[in-house]
Amino acid sequence: MAKDPWHYPRTALADQYLKTLAIGLSKSLVLFAQRRMGKTEFLRKDLLPAAEKAGYITIYVSLWESREDPKSVLLDAIRKAAEGEGIISGVWRRLGWPGSKGVRAHAGTIGALASWEQGTAEASDRMLDLRQWMNTLAQKKNPTLLLVDEIQTLADEKRYGALVAALRSALDKHGDQIKAIFTGSSSEGLRRMFQMEKAPFFQFNHQIPFPQLGPEFVQHMLRAFANATQR
């Protein structure tokens, strides 16, 4: 894929997060910033390539783009990584993502392919499947990095509590082999997921502010504008 002249690379920040996970200070991170602060572009264009270069199996899921059925999209992305499925012909190309060993989910494609009944028995089966898929990932030679954008979409305990609890259990069990980075733009949603005593992710993640862009970003954009317009 051609280099995007408008993208401001934050490779040092991506390496910093990966090193934090690698040395074991934390097995998962939560990055908080308001929307339109560059979190998604950072995950897709900086952190994902850096993680793949470091040898990780990567799973990227945008729950903001999957708000109608985030559970199905998340579970299907994990399943595809565990089963080692290749890129679905045509799907990722339409989204503008290059083929790689990473698995990426999008509501308009995967959500349509991964619908199922939401009954109690079916939901229970899905949680058993999740545990099995995470067990499979943990047995692979390469470690896995799970990236979930806008994780607060799952803050509704009634709808997603079982999923979040199962995910927490699997990450606890396989934390040496499966790392996670979550992003969020709602302080209230993140509080409900990570700071309330009865929340499944209570005291599980290390939450850090996502750094704001500084003068270097402005200079980069000015150079890109000058190169594009000759002005």
CB atoms within 10 A of CB 101: 14
**What integer pLDDT is reported at residue 24 of this predicted model?**
79
CB 120 within 8 Å of CB 65: no
pLDDT computed for residue 85 by the predictor: 60
Query: Considering all CA atoms of the chain, what is the largest pairwise distance in Å, rounded to the nearest integer?
Result: 63
Task: Tell whether the model's pLDDT for residue 136 goes beyond 80.
Answer: yes
pTM metric for this prediction: 0.77
pLDDT score at 104: 53
CA distances from 112 to 62, 106, 194 (A): 15, 9, 30
Instruction: Assign 190 a pLDDT band (cuts: 50, 70, 90).
Output: confident
Strand partners, 31: 183, 208
118-127, 129-138, 151-160, range with the lowest pLDDT: 118-127
pLDDT band at 76 (very low <50, low <70, confident <90, very high): very high
The amino acid sitting at 3 is: K
Q: What homologous superfamily is domain 11-89+123-229 in, according to CATH?
A: P-loop containing nucleotide triphosphate hydrolases (3.40.50.300)
Phi, psi of 141 (to 5 degrees): -65, -45
Do the beta carbons of residue 197 and residue 190 sit within 8 Å? no
| pLDDT (mean) for 125-149 | 90
As a whole number of angstroms, the distance between CA 84 and CA 134 comes to 13
pLDDT of residue 97: 38
Q: Report the pLDDT value the prediction gives residue 40, as an integer from 0 to 100.
A: 87
Residue 18 pLDDT more than 90?
yes
Q: Is a pLDDT exceeding 60 seen at residue 50?
A: yes
User: What are the extents of the domains in the chain?
Assistant: 11-89+123-229
pLDDT band at 211 (very low <50, low <70, confident <90, very high): confident
Q: Give the span between the Cα atoms of 39 and 61, in whole angstroms.
A: 13
